[in-house]
Amino acid sequence: MKNQKISIAEQQAFPLAEQRFIKTCGFNLEREKHQRMMKMGLAVREKGIGGIDINALVSFYGSEAFSEGKVKAEGVEIYCNYFDQIPAEWVEGVYFYMLTVGECLFSSEEDIMDFLYADIWGTNYVDAGIEILKEKLNADLKERFPDKTLYLSDEFGPGYFGMPVIASKNFFQVLDADAIGVWVKDSGLMIPQKTCAGLYLVLNQPGVKAEPECMQCRGNVSGCQFCAVRAEK
Ligand code: SF4
């Protein structure tokens, strides 16, 4: 599986995006005021929905793609601090992915609530798309390795786990982003902005969960071994 394009219907993602929208906005829908605000939020979605187009790309690599605490594919090396904690023999493969939702269109940045709600919808469609994509990857994993029980890791991507934002460029070497209309600026910022790229390790060990601090890791030159987060455990 290399550069497999997966399209996700907006209607499929909507219930998940809606749950997240309510949570992000902190709405309690038993309150009349929040019901009114939710109505406004739904109207913004209704107006902007034409811009939402959810597409993903996925490539699978075998266990050879993870060695010496690095993911290596198509001539690039991808590294983040957290990989230090994963022995190579736990890794059976790597899924690379990129997912974009386009954008929830809005009429004008001057109408701040329209702009804000449209932005929140865009982010929540990304998260909903990732959740659906992860289900599809789990199904693919079962087909690919019918005799093994394997687990997808946390999502590793630019901006998390000590991986710099500029590392997004590496994902463009691995995945044919043109196929889903995504490009990257010199800064590493992906366009459309409601796009994310990352990878999942396929693990043969259950319960490999990163500490919440690791997700926000700003990098530690000495690596995980000498990090206070691990010393505390
Ligand atoms: S926070 Fe510490 S333990 Fe966690 S990934 Fe970063 S360096 Fe490693």
- The answer to whether the pTM exceeds 0.85 is yes
Determine contact, residues 17/124, Cβ cutoff 8 Å.
yes
CA of 11 to the centre of ligand 1 (A): 38
pLDDT band at 233 (very low <50, low <70, confident <90, very high): low
Strands 52-62 and 91-102 come out as: antiparallel
- Provide the pLDDT for residue 133: 98
Task: Point out which residues pair with 192 in neighbouring strands.
Answer: none
CA of 46 to the centre of ligand 1 (A): 42
Question: Residues with Cβ within 6 A of ligand 1?
Answer: 81-82, 161-162, 211, 213-214, 217, 220, 224, 227, 229-230
Q: Which helix (H) or strand (E) holds 139?
A: helix 112-144
pLDDT tens-place string over residues 32-91: 999 999 999 999 999 999 999 999 999 999 999 999 899 999 999 999 989 988 999 999
Contacts of 110 (CB under 8 A, 6+ apart): none
CA of 216 to the centre of ligand 1 (A): 9
d(CA 52, CA 121): 9
pLDDT tens-place string over residues 74-117: 999 999 989 988 999 999 999 999 999 998 888 777 788 889 99
Ligand 1 atom 1, closest CA? 214
Determine contact, residues 38/22, Cβ cutoff 8 Å.
yes
**Residue 222 confidence (pLDDT) above 70:** yes
Q: Which CATH architecture has domain 4-231?
A: 3-Layer(aba) Sandwich (3.40)
